[in-house]
Structure 1
């Protein structure tokens, strides 16, 4: 049970990171280029998971994805897909909740670049898409790596959204953060400690790597 739960936890975190990476690049580029009220509204929506309790987001996702909700009913009737209490459902919730952890480092990395890079590319007749992918992104590889590590760490430890959408189904939606609470309620402290210590060790190592990259990057730029 322990190995199955940990495999599911890391699979969820890895897939969340992979899905978020192209989204983070595109939206980071949009925030870098865009101006106006539309950008501000979209930024507020993206940053909401940072200030909302996870259970709030999880509750509304549960309502939207349930077979009685508009979106959930549509998916079930036309595609035969049921997202609540499924791995796909917790993956969707993890992606939505992890958006700011991927987008923010990429946006910050783009904003830290000197403006002459963009101006020189535009002067040579290159468009925004070419400039983003061929000029700007190659210069913020550390920021992209930090975004990937940060979103992975966050997905590993996510509890509220996953619990609300997926419940605690072994082999389907039972991730380590949910398993810890379940084992504590059953007074199975040794297994709860095993889960907690594993998450602590993995998070410590990945956070160390992220901070080391950040420090090394800042030193190289100064």
Structure 2
């Protein structure tokens, strides 16, 4: 599975003097250090989404259909981004919901694969609790989502109940992004290439950037009143 979290290990990002200072801190203060550093990196990630920029400062690959009124790409993922775990030595920035993390990984790392009408036909019922939402199902219908159903010769627009029964949350999220970008393609196609470009917003660009954040937070903790 593609990476959908940013793992921060304080070791290896500090100089010798800073590591000695770190060792003098209590486990509680070391956790505070990592928690604060990760929250700063979360703010940096959200700022990139607001600016629609990748880690290296380059702009996000544009949508193929740039209609007016569309929300900024990855905005929903940014709102749900949080510190999911933290110890005195290591912390993780990501998403607690596994399906949301999967969608984020597709967006952050990019994906390219071919889907066919036959594959859609073979989709089975999804496990309880992982189905697409009503909002997603209605959005898919508005975007022209079509499948081949039993007894039908042509691709048809499935009902909301069919989508809820056969499409899970993660699939729906990815399909919405694809169909939203590919509005110009024929809705009757028998197969199509799913291509999402990398839009890398999570974490920091270089190890040097990580070290700078950690050193800054460390100095603030060392200089704070006892």
After TM superposition, is the score higher than 0.5?
no
More strand as a share of residues: 2
Larger radius of gyration: 2
Task: Return the TM-score normalized by structure 1.
Answer: 0.27
TM superposition score normalised by structure 2 = 0.26
Greater share of residues in helix: 1
